[in-house]
Structure 1
């Protein structure tokens, strides 16, 4: 083989190696964002359940204009997207904060964490560490 052919082979191997590294980085970022979106979707679903509890009269098993006593349904505490918890709402609460711990790790090496504030007529993501 000539020297030019060897140089082309080495150059080709370098280009393929760079492409593989870039592909892995893009996949990692996409995977983290997908997990963040899935955790937010789960939290939004749970927030909607909490709002239903808030609006339902206490005589019918609801909160009667109070989030106090609402718990995450047992099957939703842990899903394929992550694990979830609710702030201690105490005996009376006008809002609660749901927390989701995802399965992916961000750029800092920390597990994905998302917080959602649930009010009687509003759901708001108050924090996420997806871009850390």
Structure 2
């Protein structure tokens, strides 16, 4: 082979290597963002369950206009997206979801959702 052909082969290998690294980085970033969205979706689902509990009469297993007694169902306390905890007060519930996918610095997204009898608010998830 001539020098020009060897140079083209080396150049081709370098370009393919760079493309692979860029692809891996894009996949990692996409995976982290998908996990963030999943944590928010799970938080909203749990918030809806908390409001259902609040509005349901005691006779039907609800809170009868109080959140006291609400717990996260065991099968939803940990999902493929993260782990969830709830701090329950009589008129509010604060649900915290901790994502499972970590960035290169070892930090994962945490989502916090506050539930009241008439509203559900979710803060923008942050890395912890």
Instruction: Write the mapping of 1:117-128 to structure 2, written as runs, cut at 5 A.
Output: 117-128=114-125
Does the aligned pair in 2 maintain the 1:55–1:62 contact within 8 Å?
Answer: yes
Structure 1 moving runs of 4+ over 4 Å: none
Give the Å deviation of 1:107: 4.5
Q: Are 1:36 and 2:36 an aligned pair?
A: yes
Could you report, residue by residue, the CA deviation over 1:82-103 in whole angstroms, capped at 9, with x for unpaired residues? 111101x24x2x2111111111
SS state at 1:73 partner: coil
Find the counterpart in structure 2 of residue 12 from structure 1: 12
Post-superposition shift, 1:2? 0.9
2:71 corresponding residue in structure 1: 71
Select which of 99, 102, 110 maps to 1:102: 99
Distance (Å, rounded) in 2 between the aligned partners of 1:2 and 1:96: 72
* Aligned mates of 1:42, 1:55 — CA distance in 2: 20
Q: Secondary structure at the match of 1:66?
A: coil
Any gaps of 5 or more consecutive residues in structure 1?
none
Q: Is 2:27 the partner of 1:24?
A: no
C-alpha distance in structure 2 between counterparts of 1:118 and 1:96, whole Å? 5
Q: Larger deviation: 96-105 or 116-125?
A: 116-125
- SS of 1:78's partner is coil
